[in-house]
A and B are shown apart, each in its own frame.
Chain A
Amino acid sequence: MIAPVLSLEGLNKSYGALQATRDVSLDVVAGEIHALIGPNGAGKTTLVRQIYGSEAPDSGTVRLHGATVNHLSVPQRVRNGIGRSFQISNVLMEFTVLENAMVAEAARRGEAFRFLRPAFTDRGLRDGAMAILARVGIEARGKTRVADLAHGERRLLEFALALAGDPALLLLDEPMAGAGPEETRHMIEIIERLRGEVAILLIEHDMDAVFRLADRVTVLVEGAVIASGTPDAISGDAAVRAAYLGGDDDVEA
Chain B
Amino acid sequence: MELLRILGEGLARNRLLAVILAGFALFPIYTGIADLPFWNDLAMRIMILGMAAMGLNLVLGYGGMVSFGHAAFVGIGAYAVGISQFYGLDNGWIHVLISLFACGVLGLVIGFLSLRTTGIYFIMITLAFAQMLYFLFVSLEQFGGDDGMSIDRADFMPIDLWEPLRLYYLIWVALLLTSLFLMVIVRSRFGVVLEAIRSNESRVEAMGLVPLRFKITGYVISAMICGLAGTMFASWQEYVSPDIMHWTRSGELMIIIILGGIGTLAGPLLGAVAFLLLEEWLPELMLLVAPAYAENWMIIFGPVLIAVVLFARGGLGGLIRRIAGGG
Contact = CB atoms under 8 A, between A and B. Distances in A.
Interface in A47-94: 54, 73-75, 78-79, 83-84, 86, 90-94
A221 B193 CA distance: 39
- Interface range on chain A (Cβ under 8 Å from partner): 35 or more
Contact of B196 (A74, A92, A114): A92
A91 B208 contact: no
A178 B1 CA distance: 51
Interface in A68-126: 73-75, 78-79, 83-84, 86, 90-95, 99, 102-104, 106-108, 111-121
Contacts of A6: none
B192 interface: yes
A234 interface: no
A252 B190 CA distance: 43
A115 B185 contact: yes
B188 interface: yes
A8 interface: no
A111 to B, nearest CB: 6
A73 B3 CA distance: 36
B203 A107 contact: no
Contacts of A91: 200, 203
Judged by DSSP, the binding face of B is: helix
Contacts of B203: 90-92, 161
Nearest to A104: B207
A201 to B, nearest CB: 15
A232 to B, nearest CB: 34
Interface residues of B, number: 30
Nearest to A165: B208
B106 interface: no
Report which residue of B193, B213, B217 has the largest number of chain A beta carbons within 10 angstroms of its beta carbon.
B193
A95 B199 contact: yes
B206 A113 contact: no
Contacts of A165: 207-208
Given A92-B200, A99-B192, A118-B6, 9 more contacts: A78-B207, A93-B199, A103-B193, A112-B189, A113-B189, A114-B190, A115-B185, A120-B192, A165-B208
9 contacts: A78-B205, A78-B208, A91-B203, A92-B200, A93-B200, A115-B190, A116-B3, A161-B207, A165-B207
